[in-house]
Amino acid sequence: MTDYGAIRKRYIAGGKQSTLTHVEEVADTAEWLGRIHGLNIEKLRLAAMLHDVSAVLSPDEMYGIARERGMEIDAAEEKYHFLLHQRISAIMAREEFGVTDEDVLSAIECHTTLKRGAGMYDKAVFLADKISWDRGGVPPYYDELKELAGKSLDEACRYFIKYQFDNGLLLMPHRWITEAYEELENGNV
């Protein structure tokens, strides 16, 4: 059984109460998507609760961890270290919380950018994070994205990534998001 109390304590101890609120909202949205699309709710909730756990670190600390481990660093991550948070959160999920389920770890690892070959859990957590955004108010894409997500994870992912590109919302596109979008556009999912 997952110790959600320990996860919550990690956010609070790191001074990230607002991030905790966000991940709990993402967990609720992921559960909603899981019920619609027949996915394991526990896996989705766990991935959602841990997807931003590396927020307790600074972007420079994340970068240091990536360098120490010899991780390949995308040009976007090199310029904007905070983009590493998805990959560092997956490491923390495995090493601090003992997560071994590859569906959960993969969903954490690509929740910001998605990736080529993304599975259903990857897509559900990616979308739950975008629907339950952490910037206050309602995002301009909310209604369309939520409606699409209720019908097709692939169509919703394609829509959202296209929305980001069309509206200049990516500071510097990560290779993973470009590859995921090409795959979704070509129907090779």
Q: Is the pLDDT of residue 139 over 80?
A: yes
Q: Which residues contact 20 (CB under 8 A, 6 or more apart)?
A: 8, 11, 12
Of the pLDDT bands very low, low, confident and very high (cuts 50, 70, 90), residue 135 is confident
pTM equals: 0.96
Give the end-to-end CA distance of the chain in Å, rounded to a whole number. 32
For residue range 63-117, list pLDDT tens digits in order.
999 999 999 999 999 999 999 999 999 999 999 999 999 999 999 999 999 999 9
Contact between residue 79 and residue 59 where contact means Cβ atoms under 8 Å apart? no
For the chain, how many structural domains are there in total?
1
Domain that holds residue 123: 4-185
Tell me the CATH number at 147: 1.10.3210.10
What pLDDT score does 2 carry? 79
For residue range 46-56, list pLDDT tens digits in order.
999 999 999 99
Of the pLDDT bands very low, low, confident and very high (cuts 50, 70, 90), residue 137 is confident
Q: Is the pLDDT of residue 189 over 70?
A: no
